[in-house]
Amino acid sequence: MSRLSNYRESVLQTGYDFVGARVLQTAFELDLFEKVGSGSKTASALAQELNAHPESLELFLNALVSLGFLAADGHAYQNTKFGGEIFLKGEPLYVGDMVALQAKMSGAWLGLKESVLKGQPVEEPEFFKSDEASAGFARAMHNTAMGHAEYLAKKLALGSAKKLLDLGGGPGTFTIHFLKANPGLEATVFDLPATLKTTRQFVEEARLADRVRYQAGDFNVDGIEGTFDACFLSHIIHSQDAEKNKELFRQIFAHLNAGGKLVVQDFFLNADKQSPRFSALFALTMLIHTDSGRTYTFDEVEAWMRKTGFAQVKRPNLRLPRSISLVIGERG
């Protein structure tokens, strides 16, 4: 095939990508991976359990096999080797909560055209409208963080830091791994009251409750209490505009001890604002779900840090998933 033909086919394939996503989401909605479990089951057995149309369910199961989400042995279906590690509840690398969140958010994408034309979100997410929604969002963030939290905690040198502030820390996943990697460290997780209920559960499960404190509030409204040697700000700046971020940096700076570090983790853009691909696409997620959020370039964030007063700013070269990167500022 010619390069033009390949390009044309890739464009057409993009139009079908949503199908695979919806198949995966539906599998979780049916609790299918759990029903298959660690053994194997036939389509007819699963149809009985689900009270499903046998022939339709078989079509669905075969589609899951084609996507690599299930394996087949004759007429029996089973979880794949890696599927058993990420699709079954209770596994450390479970992704089901994040897939459920993606399913809830998927409908808003139908309004992308209106958001592009009017510059307004399609709908504000329900993440913080109820305790249940907050818990679901926090669990989803835990799913995604578990992909690299342990690696990051081991690679990111916090030096002699004794007190860490995890601002907007959500489920506390990164806090947990920073504490495991740094035995002399204590942490404070700052987040909304409803979110902190889930944070406490994860911290207690990790048996780290004696090293974690909590501050409940909205960091754009309620002041930070105390001083710290490091602040971890993960996936916060993309949800708000530049002015709010600059003010947040100023507030953090005021609560850092001399030599303290601000570690910003996010989906950063390169200077062209068109790459990496994930970061450029994620900017549209913020367009349809927030009033003023977007993804920012490395240069923009570095400029905020320097103007705030951070004497040294650097970008660690770490291999993190989904174009995630860090920018670190150090207070002189």
Distance CA 241, CA 305 (A): 15
Say what the pLDDT of residue 26 is: 98
Distances (CA, A) of 249 to 175, 224, 262: 20, 12, 8
Distance CA 70, CA 200 (A): 34
* Cα 50 off chain centre by: 31
Say what the pLDDT of residue 159 is: 83
**Strand-pair category, 325-331 with 310-314:** antiparallel
**CB–CB of 273/216 below 8 Å?**
no
What six digits make up the tokens of 279? Answer: 């970061």
Check if 3-92 and 148-272+291-331 are the same fold: no
Distance CA 69, CA 82 (A): 9
Mean pLDDT of residues grouped by 10 in the chain (332 residues)?
94 96 98 97 97 98 98 96 97 98 95 96 77 93 98 93 98 98 97 97 98 97 96 98 98 97 98 98 96 97 98 95 97 92
What six digits make up the tokens of 64? Answer: 């899951």
Residue type, 72: A
Please name the helix (run of DSSP H) or strand (run of DSSP E) that holds residue 99, with its range, or none: helix 96-106
Say what the pLDDT of residue 252 is: 98
Domain boundaries of the chain, sorted by first residue: 3-92, 148-272+291-331
- The β-bridge partners of 314 are 328
- Tell me which DSSP letter residue 297 carries: B
Measured CA angle at 216 (ends 240, 263), to 5 deg: 50
CATH number for the domain running over 148-272+291-331? 3.40.50.150
Q: Tell me if residue 11 falls in helix, strand or coil.
A: helix
- The pTM for the full model equals 0.95
Nearest alpha-carbon partner for 290 in 125, 138, 128, 157: 125
Residue carrying structure tokens 């055209």: 113
Say what the pLDDT of residue 123 is: 78
Distance CA 170, CA 237 (A): 14
Instruction: Please state the length of the chain.
Output: 332
**CB–CB of 176/206 below 8 Å?**
yes
Measured CA angle at 70 (ends 107, 320), to 5 deg: 65
Nearest alpha-carbon partner for 134 in 218, 240, 27, 223: 218
Say what the pLDDT of residue 65 is: 98
- The β-bridge partners of 231 are 165, 262
**Strand-pair category, 256-266 with 228-234:** parallel
CATH number for the domain running over 3-92? 1.10.10.10
